[in-house]
Amino acid sequence: MKRVSFYQSIRLKIIIILTLFLLLAFLVIGTYFTQELEQSLKNNFINNVEERMELLETNLADAFAKERSEDDDTPTLQDDVQSIVNRYRYTTGLFSDLFVVDSQMRVIGTKSDYERLGKRTKGYQGINIALQYDQTDQQIMRNQYTDDRVLVRTVPVKDGDAVVGAIRVEASIEEVYNQVESTNQIFLNGMILAILVSVILGILVARSITKPITEMRKQAMIMATGNFSKKVNVYGTDEIGQLAMTFNEMNDRLKQANQSTEEERRKLSSVLSNMSDGVMATDEHGRISLMNEPAARLIGQSFHDVKGKPLAEVLLLEENIVDLKELEETGSLTIDFSNEDQFFLLKANFSIVQDQNEMFNGLITVISDVTEEEKVERERREFVSNVSHELRTPLTTMRSYLETLSDGAWEDEELAPYFLQVTQNETERMIRLVNDLLQLSRMDQTDNTMNMQQVNVIPFFHDIVDRFEMNKSDNISFKRNIPNDTVMMWLDTDKITQVVDNILSNAMKYSPEGGTITFQVEKQAHRLKVSIIDEGLGIAQEKVDKIFDRFYRVDKARSRQLGGTGLGLAISKEIVESHSGHIWAESQEGQGTTISFTLPLPVRKRGNGQ
């Protein structure tokens, strides 16, 4: 998992949030405090100016109301007003500028600029308002010389109800703003210091909050690897502490669930690996997501080769199946995987996998090799057909001859004996056939017992050949390649005699006139090989392996003519294999046939001299 950087961590977010909360509080408080302080100082300053101007206005009103004679010793209005202004000039430094005008807007008193005395004022809107409308004018503006902010206040001077003059003062209010700015600077410095302290406290608080969360994150990463051995520390009983305890409890439950899942996975893996049948699983799109080794062997492809491929493509079902959901109704299919060299059939059983909403979530396919079963079934059907055919032929012949005899042929002294002889021959043929079938049936039973006895096989084989030589025709000769040795073996002599009889009988039937039948015995390592070689017409190469099949005849017409049932070599094969031996044929057309079988020799025990 990617490591979280400090700039993306919750710790930085907690620090920023705490700092922003504190900064917002300071901004709100600072803004309110600054505005209230500024307003308070301005109001105090204006009230101070108003008080002084009220006193000045009272004194000037008395001066305007004073009666004066034309006597030279009586002070003029301008002298009285200037005298009053002069008193204020030396008693307070509050006013930076002060002058008084009469109703004619002539300056009759000033604090500093005496050149204006007796002159009319121009451009002072406040004076016009005071003289014409009997109203006080007040405003704050910049001094054009010093650029300081000053409070300009103009009030009318009245004699009774009549406006007789006006007072205009300028008082520097810059100190008030300087005090406010100084206070703001102090407040800003305090806010910066508080923010630094809050950042430090935020780091400590954030660390105490995020430390258990960080530990849980690390533990979650460890748990993701399948390691559930460690637990997170619990630092308290608050929500985070309860979260840590819950996390540890979840760790224990996940550990148990993982162990159960791993155990089930191992069981499933063991079952899948040891199944003789192949198992294939797909996702909801029909693509292979799981396959065991038996399935890989059956389809001839590894899981790596077929992973992610459509099941229909791998099992050669593309032409038959459009939607995999159809396989649920089909249940099972037999799939032909045969090629030019091998007959191969697979049976596939399908099962639909559904999720909790009963929606199609995949498919489980179990495949098995049914080639041998199909072969057995085909052989069974062929066997039944052959038995029916073999029995029908003599029965049909017998029926025909018996019907002929019933129709009056029995009275014919020449035909009747012939018909009866044919009927008797066909009857014996059916008896031989039924006996052979019964023998095969008994040999197919698992409880078939062998009458084993220890014999010297050399004289045993000589006796069999002697018996055939006594009954052979004059145009066939026997040749023996049998060693002069003592070879003791455990055999069921009756059954081995039947094997040799069947092979020698066939060799005599198919040997041409003047032909030689060679009986050869060869002692090999751990086994005895017996070969019977004739000089007959031979068997085509593609038919050699089939002569041991039941009812198979190379030349059917001649075999029936010679009374064969087609079961002799099949019985011989069963007998040899029941002795743990092996039988086979070698032949070429026109060059004769060699049928050989081997029997195991007894194992010699060391130290016994055997």
Q: Which pLDDT belongs to residue 297?
A: 84
Q: Which pLDDT belongs to residue 607?
A: 47
Read off the pLDDT band of 188 (50, 70, 90): confident
Residues whose CB is less than 8 angstroms from the CB of residue 114 and which lie 6 or more positions away in sequence, other chains included: none
Residue 598 has pLDDT above 90, yes or no: yes
Residue 220 lies inside a defined structural domain of this protein: no
Q: Are residues 493 and 554 in the same domain?
A: yes
Residue 569 has pLDDT above 90, yes or no: no
Q: What is the mean pLDDT of residues 53-67?
A: 81
Residue 312 lies inside a defined structural domain of this protein: yes
Q: Are residues 162 and 52 in the same domain?
A: yes
Q: Are residues 385 and 406 in the same domain?
A: yes
553: CATH: 3.30.565.10
353: CATH: 3.30.450.20
Residue 203 lies inside a defined structural domain of this protein: no
Burial class (CB in 10 A: 0-12, 13-18, 19+), 384: exposed
Give me the chain's average pLDDT, please. 79
Q: Which pLDDT belongs to residue 597?
A: 93
Q: Are residues 471 and 578 in the same domain?
A: yes
Q: Are residues 412 and 474 in the same domain?
A: no
Q: Which pLDDT belongs to residue 416?
A: 79
37: left (phi over 0), alpha (psi -120 to 50) or beta: alpha
Listed in sequence order, the DSSP H helices in 407-492 are 415-444, 457-471
Residue 121 lies inside a defined structural domain of this protein: yes
Residue 608 has pLDDT above 50, yes or no: no
Domain finish residue from 396, 416, 444: 444
Q: Beta strand pairing status for 453-456 and 345-354?
A: unpaired
Residues whose CB is less than 8 angstroms from the CB of residue 152 and which lie 6 or more positions away in sequence, other chains included: 126, 137, 138, 139, 140, 141, 168, 169, 170
Q: Indicate the number of domains in the chain.
A: 5
> In whole angstroms, what is the distance from residue 464 CA to residue 494 CA?
11
Residue 210 has pLDDT above 50, yes or no: yes
Residue 5 lies inside a defined structural domain of this protein: no
Q: Are residues 319 and 418 in the same domain?
A: no
Give the amino acid at 70.
E
Cβ atoms of residues 302 and 287 within 8 Å: no
Q: Which pLDDT belongs to residue 599?
A: 92
Q: Are residues 165 and 21 in the same domain?
A: yes
Domain finish residue from 319, 343, 366: 366
| Pick from 146-155, 494-503, 557-566, 596-605: least confident | 557-566
Read off the pLDDT band of 441 (50, 70, 90): low
DSSP string, 14-81: HHHHHHHHHHHHHHHHHHHHHHHHHHHHHHHHHHHHHHHHHHHHHHHHHHHH----S-TTSPPHHHHH
> In whole angstroms, what is the distance from residue 496 CA to residue 532 CA?
14
What domain range includes position 527? 453-600
Q: Which of 155, 152, 133 lies closest to 143, judged by CA?
A: 152
Residue 193 has pLDDT above 70, yes or no: yes
| Pick from 214-218, 352-356, 470-474, 599-603: least confident | 470-474
Residue 314 lies inside a defined structural domain of this protein: yes
Q: Are residues 495 and 571 in the same domain?
A: yes
Q: Are residues 460 and 558 in the same domain?
A: yes
Q: Are residues 505 and 387 in the same domain?
A: no
Domain finish residue from 405, 422, 444: 444
417: CATH: 1.10.287.130
DSSP label of 601: P
- List C-alpha distances in Å: 599 to 526, 531, 582, 583: 9, 12, 7, 9
Q: Which pLDDT belongs to residue 557?
A: 45
| Pick from 94-108, 165-179, 277-291, 435-449: least confident | 435-449
Residue 213 lies inside a defined structural domain of this protein: no
DSSP string, 311-370: HHHHTT-TTT-SSTTHHHHH-EEEEE---SS---EEEEEEEEEE-TT--EEEEEEEEEE-
User: pLDDT digits over 105-127, tens only?
Assistant: 888 888 877 777 878 887 788 88
Residue with the larger pLDDT of the pair 24 and 92: 24
Report the Cα 362 to chain-centroid distance in Å.
13
User: pLDDT digits over 312-361, tens only?
Assistant: 788 887 776 666 666 666 677 778 878 777 788 888 888 888 777 778 78
- List C-alpha distances in Å: 39 to 33, 48, 369, 499: 10, 14, 102, 134
0.75 exceeded by the pTM? no
User: pLDDT digits over 236-260, tens only?
Assistant: 777 777 888 888 888 888 888 888 8
Q: Which pLDDT belongs to residue 4?
A: 54
Read off the pLDDT band of 522 (50, 70, 90): very high
Residues whose CB is less than 8 angstroms from the CB of residue 606 and which lie 6 or more positions away in sequence, other chains included: none
Q: Are residues 285 and 307 in the same domain?
A: yes
Residue 475 has pLDDT above 90, yes or no: no
Q: What is the mean pLDDT of residues 410-438?
A: 74
